[in-house]
Structure 1
Amino acid sequence: MKRSAQPDARPGTYALLLRIAVAEIAFVGRRHRLPLAPGWAVYVGSAFGPGGIAARLAHHRRPVVRPHWHIDYLRRYARLETVWLSHDPSRRECLWAAVLAQDSGGRAPSFRFGASDCRCPAHMYQFGVRPTLAAFAAALESRAPDHATVLEFDLEPG
C-alpha cells in the first residue's frame, strides 16, 4: 500500500471510489435502472491499451457527454473521489472484483454491471462505508502474494 500523487501511462488495474450522496435510481442506457444507496460505489477496471492508466483516468475525470461504458452512466450520479491502482503486468480486474464481493462485503446492485466482457457477476460494488485500501490490499495479497503494490490517490475536482 502506498500513496501516489499522479498516475502514469503504464498499463494496469484500477478501482474508482465514488461517493453516492442520496438514494436514487440511475438510468444506464435506455432500459436499465440501477438502484443506488447512499455510501460508496467501487468500480474496477483495467487499462492495458495506449496511454495505460493515466489515459483511462483522464477519460473518467472528464464530464460525461456521451456515455460509453457502464461507469460513465454511474458517474452522473456519484462523485469520483479516489483511485486505487496497480501496475501489475497481469490482468487483475476480475480478482479485484472478487475481493470486493467476497472479502470486502460489497453488494452488487446490478448483475453484470461493468462486467460485460468477462464472467464475473459484476465489477461495481456498493458499500455503506468507505472501504479502506489497507483491508483491500491485504485481501489481494492473501489471494495473490505476487501482486504488485496498490497505490492510492485522491482526485481533485475537474
Structure 2
Amino acid sequence: MSNAPTTRSVDDVQAHLIGTNDTVKLAVLAGPADGSPTTVVFEIWEPGGAQPDNSHEDSAETFVVLAGTARAHSDEHVVDLVAGDVIVLPEGSVHHIVNSSPDQRLYTLTVMARDGGFAELIESGPPAELDAADRAVLGRVTRPATTGR
C-alpha cells in the first residue's frame, strides 16, 4: 500500500519567529514531518527587517521572491532582488537577507534541500500570526485563480 500525499491549506499554516525579537516570520509548508528531506518555508520580512548571519554546511538554500525587494548578502557577495527573482545560496556560505523596502513586507518561498534541523528550529520558536495580507500572498501562490465563483 502506498503513502498518501500530504496536503495543506494556507489556513492551516502556522508561522513562527526563531527568536522573540525577530523581524522575519517563517511558516514551514513542507518538511521532515511530512516525510520529505527538503523543507519549504514561506518567509515574511517586516519593512527593513533582516535575518541574522547564518550558514548551512550541508545544504544550499534557494529563495524565490514573491513580493517586495531585498538585498542578499552571501560571503563577500551582495545582490539586490525583486519579485520574480530566484537566488541560490551555496552550501556553507555565511548569508543573510534584508528587506530593502522601508514600507513594504518582503515575501519569499525558501527551499532547503537537506533540512538539517531547519524545520524543527523554526517550529520550536514562538508562534507568530499570519495576517490577511500574508495569507493573500501565499494564497496567490498556492491556489490558482478561478472564474465564476
What's the TM-score bracket when you normalise by the shorter of the two chains?
A: under 0.3
What's the TM-score, normalizing by structure 1?
Answer: 0.26
Please say which structure displays the higher CA radius of gyration. 2
What's the TM-score, normalizing by structure 2?
Answer: 0.27
Higher helix share: 1
